Amino acid sequence: MNSKKKLLIFAHYYHPDVASTGQILKDQAEGMLETFDVTVICVVPSYGGKIEEQYKTQKYYHENINGVKVIRVRVPEFEKTNKISRIKNILAYFFGALGACAKAGKQDYVFTISQPPILGGLLGVLGKWMKHAKMIYCIQDFNPEQIMAVGYFKNRFVLNCMLFADKFSCRCSDLVITVGSDLVETLKKRFKGQKVPNHTMINNWIDEKEIYPLPADHEKVLAFRKKYDLEGKYVIMYSGNIGLYYDLEHLIKVMKQFRKGYTMKGEYEKGLKTADGREVVFAFVGAGSVKEKLEQYAKRHHFENMVFIPYQDKEDLIYSLNAGDVHWCVNAKGIKGVSCPSKAYGIMAAGKPILGVLEKNSEIRNIIEKSDCGMCCDPADYKRVAELLRWYIENAGTVVEKAMGNNGRVYLEGNLTKDISVRKYSKAISSL
């Protein structure tokens, strides 16, 4: 007889989708199997918008992945740049997930995340009522605050309704978990003068056993560099979602000062080189709603030393991260306290220095500065961004630069491992 308590997770995206939350939830679900009987409800693999034929014939698909029961909901295909198609896709998941929840049997706990915005929280509330279970709401991003920060949507009535709905989800939760100390402050601000819901903070992570430093001459790192014409070059890499919340459309204009054929003073010469003689190249690895705009900008401005690379399979992520010499970790202005860029953990795991464009006292900037694994400046301070780029180019391959990467790996191993965070989740849920 199975004596474990049952935990139902609304995941939206789940392995093999490359969404960062999907990968984190896979680690979490599998890591908690010793404590809970875990069921995950998610969409069929479709993070890029397309759906394979094998997932187009049924409404629900039942799988077992490493001991985790997975119920997948069929959703329509969508385009990331088309709001209507995205809304249809999200609503299909929402109602499909409720149907799957009804079929999932008795549950003791319902765990949900803040994706899709607002609806993720409401799924948890409805799941709690349907299953007469305890609810845990994990807030990866606060919305509508994140939407408002970048001006993605400006209808005040709708935004107020969204805020009311998400505060309702927080109130209905038996435990709210945030992924950064600055997000805790946002939760308290939401309920200023009122009772703040029961809450705790648990950092995100990356599996440090899967992502770790590799030598520059590693066969598969060299193969990746060769495939994308990065051989022998100094690679300044952005890896992850090329989306709305990272100010990339402005940052690319700063990068333009470092185009091939220009000196760091902006003068056209034989080519921009690092202190150790390498050409500088900017690499974007991933996909997202602003990727096409960046590609068009690069083409229009003859940005020959910029390359766009598709998302890498999870098993190949170690090679792409190690192919970068320094990595961007950025957020747009106003994102502090409403979102936490988890890509920092992968960079630290690979032992690479970070160029952070993050607000003061945000969770990730605090980690970078505490561990001395990179250099940071404020969002929208484009002059300082250019200065940091120059610093990395001028100090390429130096002891100081390499030490930053090593510092990040050491700090991660001591404080931010997968096992540490997953144990915290198991303990927090079990204590309810």
Q: What would the pLDDT profile of 39-53 be if each residue is shown by its tens digit?
A: 999 999 998 889 999
Name 72's bridge partners: 42, 61
Neighbours of 64 (CB within 10 A): 8
Helix ranges, 191-283 (H) = 219-227, 248-255
Percent of the chain with pLDDT over 70: 97
130 touches 156 (CB < 8 A): no
Percent of the chain with pLDDT over 90: 82
Q: Is residue 411 packed enough to be buried (19+ CB in 10 Å), middle (13-18) or exposed (0-12)?
A: middle
CA–CA distance, 197 with 173 (Å, rounded to integer) = 7
pLDDT at 429 > cutoff 60: yes
- Map residue 189 onto helix, strand or coil: helix
Q: What is the pLDDT of residue 175?
A: 98
Q: What is the pLDDT of residue 48?
A: 84
The better pLDDT of the pair 47, 227 is held by 227
Average pLDDT over residues 322-346: 94
CA–CA distance, 209 with 13 (Å, rounded to integer) = 23
Residue type, 64: N
Determine the distance from the C-alpha atom of residue 24 to the mean position of all C-alpha atoms in its chain, rounded to a whole number: 9
Average pLDDT over residues 235-257: 93
Residue reference for tokens 């093999």: 16
Average pLDDT over residues 347-361: 97
Q: What is the pLDDT of residues 111-149, one digit of tens each?
A: 999 999 999 999 999 999 999 999 999 999 999 998 888
Distances (CA, A) of 417 to 76, 207, 320, 413: 36, 7, 20, 6
Residue type, 2: N
Q: What is the pLDDT of residue 420?
A: 94
Q: What is the pLDDT of residue 183?
A: 96
Residue type, 149: A
The DSSP 8-state label assigned to residue 311 in this structure reads: P
- Residue 387 banded pLDDT, cuts 50, 70, 90: very high
- Residue 266 banded pLDDT, cuts 50, 70, 90: low
Distances (CA, A) of 167 to 158, 339, 413: 14, 17, 35
Tokens of 299: 């083409």
Phi first, then psi, for residue 203 (nearest 5°) are -65, 150
pLDDT at 271 > cutoff 60: no
Mean pLDDT (the chain) is 93
Q: What is the pLDDT of residues 286-318, one digit of tens each?
A: 988 899 999 999 999 988 899 999 999 889 999
Q: Is the pTM of this model over 0.85?
A: yes
